[in-house]
Structure 1
Amino acid sequence: MITADRIRCGWCHSSDLYMKYHDVEWGVPVYDDTTLFEFLLLETFQAGLSWITILNKRENFKAAFDQFDYKKIAHYSDDKIQELLQDAGIIRNKLKVYSAVTNAQNFIKIQEEFGSFSTYIWAFVNHTPIKNSPRTLKEVPATSPISDSISKDLKKRGFKFVGSTVMYAFMQATGMVDDHVENCWKRNSLPQMDVKSPD
């Protein structure tokens, strides 16, 4: 249940869906590869758009992209891609749809090299969430040296739509970095969650 009178980060108040996402997911560490791929796919589609636009279409994306099964997505045929480009429920951007397939293929290559994508991506923060201390939204950065490094490495590996801003948003979404402002109720709840890396 979403309690409207809670103090939250200012960006999430426009809808119950946005507040639920803020309260339940944003900033919470994610180590499951399927969920990490879901956020990677959604963040790449979000590039140039608002996150609420993607959240509103999240269930459509889930249905269109086989529950974010990267093993299936990696083998999508041209017919499947054309079907996606006709799906009004998602973002029908040709380059982004094709990048979802390419990124799934490269995601699997990283799994093969590191054992899991989680092991690879969390190594950038030494497997420990970064807790920033922004007092206001203006103090929340759009990029960081770490998101720069992740972006550079993913691009080198053939990933598309993974600029530093996209990857910083991915870090926030998957709890690699906690940017809840200091008076947000969620900020003080995260340290007690005892979410640990499988490593």
Structure 2
Amino acid sequence: MAAPRFTVPSLSLENGGKAAAILQERLHSLNDLHLTLKHVHWNVVGPHFIAVHEMLDPQVDAVRLMVDAIAERIATLGVSPVGTPGALVKARTWDDYSLGRASALEHLGALDEVYQGVIAAHRQAAADTESLDPVTNDLLIGHLHELEQFHWFVRAHLESSGGALSTAQAKTEQDAAREALDAK
């Protein structure tokens, strides 16, 4: 990522560049999440199809707004945001979403794993920007509120009335999909 030639007032070029680099990673992650959520929306089947299908569109829309806000913040910091598919794939440190046409519970199990990864990385980015740039930090914290709520919506389908999470032992999307399906 190129260093900025300008940034926001009272922020050094170095810190503006660091904040933009952190945000660029989040931009890739959220672009990937948006596409994954839409993929699930198109490929979910079974008795809970309509509930999951309709639950995901508002999440897709909200994540797209997060992407736009992050890209605009990167530009505000004096760096050109990169949102091309090739750049996303090249920078991605996680595997591509692995389920195709599958039941609602399988997709929700896999999405539990996806959201865990996205939220953990977003929390780290917020921590990394806390002393670097309070405006960027505030943006990320605001996104965390929504992402954690969406994760709760997903997990509500995977939780027993006693509070046990069917995917608690999963380490991969495939494991989580199987565990969610086996629990029901």
Q: TM-score, normalised by structure 1?
A: 0.25
Structure number with greater Rg is: 2
Greater share of helix residues, 1 or 2?
A: 2
Q: TM-score, normalised by structure 2?
A: 0.26
